[in-house]
Amino acid sequence: MELYQHFRPEERPFVDNVLNLRDQVERQFMTRFTDFLDPREAHIFESIIGNDDRFNVTCLFGDNQVERTMYALSPYYESVEDDDFPVCLLEASFPTKFVDIKHPDVLGSFLSLGIDRKKLGDITIEEATGTIQLLVHQDICPFVLREFTQVKKAQVAFIEAPLITYRPHPSTWTTHQTTVSSLRLDVLIKDMYQMSRKDAKALVEREWVKVNFKVVDSPAFTVEPNDLISVRKKGRARLSSIEGQTKKEKWRILYQRLVQ
């Protein structure tokens, strides 16, 4: 099928899921929801659904406040509000005087419960107030409330809070333009993070690099638009777009770096 050629082979199952979701909405005339999607999956979803006027596409918190988002796909005549999404906001407090909790600590504790990552949205930590907020799929809400009781050495007790009280972590991205010899992962890391190609390659092979939250250990991995790159201890970057090639066949790209 011609559609698949636009995506990576390993993305085919997700592409199939989007197509199945679209078919369900078309046949049953009912709204359907995705799981939480990373930026690359969100790009694929929007690419497939496109501007098809048979459907109405709604994004949770529709103004890009979240990194891992959820979509509602409905018949064109139906509207969907944030409160219609199968999402719960969970909140807990921790003693900032005695423990320092970061995003990886919460994520690691959550995943240790054996829950699929796609059921978890964004994690927000307010260090000043010692507050953790989680967006989770409503299917797992009772389980998380019952079983998620510890992060590092701190005991936590999550409660469900109104979705309207969600406080997204403010983030600032800087935009940059450059040319690269290829779209290999090690080449992009070299330019995005200002290091040697040798060091970039070593970081990938050491499994210190994630693309869309998954470890990638191949320096030759091809990066696509909207891929989110995370390098341990060096922060995040995102390939925004490919702007074409120069006369010397280098790629013009726009990318972003996360400032905070």
Quick: pLDDT tens for 168-186.
877 788 999 999 999 999 9
Average pLDDT over residues 26-52: 92
Distance, CA of 169 to CA of 123 (rounded, Å): 9
Whether residue 52 is predicted with pLDDT greater than 90 in this model: the reply is: no
Beta partners for residue 131, in sequence order: 93, 126
Average pLDDT over residues 250-255: 96
Whether residue 26 is predicted with pLDDT greater than 80 in this model: the reply is: yes
Quick: pLDDT tens for 86-112.
999 999 999 888 888 988 899 999 999
**For position 259, what pLDDT does the model report?**
84
Average pLDDT over residues 153-168: 93
Q: Do 239 and 224 contact (CB within 8 A), yes or no?
A: yes
**For position 63, what pLDDT does the model report?**
62
| pTM as predicted | 0.83
**Would residue 84 be called left, alpha or beta, if left means φ above 0 and alpha means ψ between -120 and 50 degrees?**
alpha
**Would residue 69 be called left, alpha or beta, if left means φ above 0 and alpha means ψ between -120 and 50 degrees?**
beta
Whether residue 209 is predicted with pLDDT greater than 90 in this model: the reply is: yes
Average pLDDT over residues 38-47: 91
Q: Do 229 and 218 contact (CB within 8 A), yes or no?
A: no
Whether residue 1 is predicted with pLDDT greater than 80 in this model: the reply is: no
**For position 97, what pLDDT does the model report?**
82
**For position 64, what pLDDT does the model report?**
62
- Helices vs. strands in the chain: H and E counts, helices first: 6, 15
Give the pLDDT band (50/70/90) at residue 147.
Answer: very high
Whether residue 22 is predicted with pLDDT greater than 90 in this model: the reply is: yes
**For position 191, what pLDDT does the model report?**
96
**For position 5, what pLDDT does the model report?**
83
**For position 37, what pLDDT does the model report?**
95
**For position 54, what pLDDT does the model report?**
92
Average pLDDT over residues 132-146: 97
DSSP class of residue 258 equals E
**For position 127, what pLDDT does the model report?**
87
Buried b (16+ CB within 10 A) or exposed e, 216-248: beebebebbbbbbbbbeebebbbbbeeeeeeee
Show the domains of the chain with their CATH numbers. 2-81 (3.30.1370.160), 87-165 (3.30.70.330), 173-258 (3.10.290.10)
Give the pLDDT band (50/70/90) at residue 67.
Answer: confident
